[in-house]
Amino acid sequence: MANIPKLTSTSDSTPFDAATYVHQSAQLHQLSIPPEQMPGVVDNFERIHAIAQFVLDFPLPDTLEALPRFEP
């Protein structure tokens, strides 16, 4: 199975490589991304990664309980 980098918090010492992530994910899912579309796909994953950092870096208390469903 392909070794796909995960979206991790900025405290991780390994930088996120969007091009590698897109390439390996496409192979894993047997997707054909046309070469002319690849730069846009990589750009979008770089944006996704940047946005995800806000969620991944948000501190949560250790006492927080994970629940199976959301109830407002």
The rounded distance, in Å, linking the Cα atoms of 53 and 50 is 5
The rounded distance, in Å, linking the Cα atoms of 24 and 56 is 22
pLDDT band at 1 (very low <50, low <70, confident <90, very high): very low
- pLDDT tens, 10-66? 555 688 999 999 999 999 999 999 999 999 999 999 999 999 999 889 998 989 888
Task: Give the pLDDT score at 24.
Answer: 97
The rounded distance, in Å, linking the Cα atoms of 13 and 6 is 13
The rounded distance, in Å, linking the Cα atoms of 7 and 14 is 10
Where along the chain do its domains lie? 1-55
